[in-house]
Amino acid sequence: MTKKQANTDDLIAMIIKGIDDVKGEDIQLLDLREIENTVCDYFVICSGNSNTQVNAITGSVQKTVSKELQDKPWHIEGQGNSEWILMDYVNVVVHVFQKQIREYYDIESLWGDAKITEINPA
């Protein structure tokens, strides 16, 4: 295992922990590495039930990743309305949706060639 991959695995684990800590739902990991011309290696997608929970999830992810890995997102978008917040960690992009917005955009189907793993945190 290369150092870069270990760091990516650790980052994904901390992102999932941050989501789970505030009860984010329907967590999926999309592996995009086998798809040509993608902007990152992985998407982590989850849902929240309200603007407040979507904000709490992104805050928890930032706090957990910062504390455990001393890393922060390169860019964050969508905090204005908190319906869909995107957190860009370069190799891993986190999408935090309100449920109805996630259903509307259905990005899992747009990336149908990706290997999708359902995440069920302990």
Structural domain for 15, as ranges: 3-119
- Report residue 18 as tokens: 């941050």
Name, in order, each residue with C-beta under 8 angstroms of 90's C-beta and a sequence gap of 6 or more. Answer: 40, 74
Establish how many alpha carbons lie within 13 A of residue 103's alpha carbon, considering only the half-sphere containing its beta carbon: 5
What CATH number has the domain bearing residue 89? 3.30.460.10
The pLDDT value given to residue 5: 53
Quick one: average pLDDT of 18-23? 96
Quick one: average pLDDT of 71-94? 95
Total domains present in the chain? 1
Task: In whole angstroms, give the CA distance from residue 21 to residue 63.
Answer: 11
One-letter amino acid of 76: I
Task: With 0.85 as the threshold, say if the pTM is over it.
Answer: yes
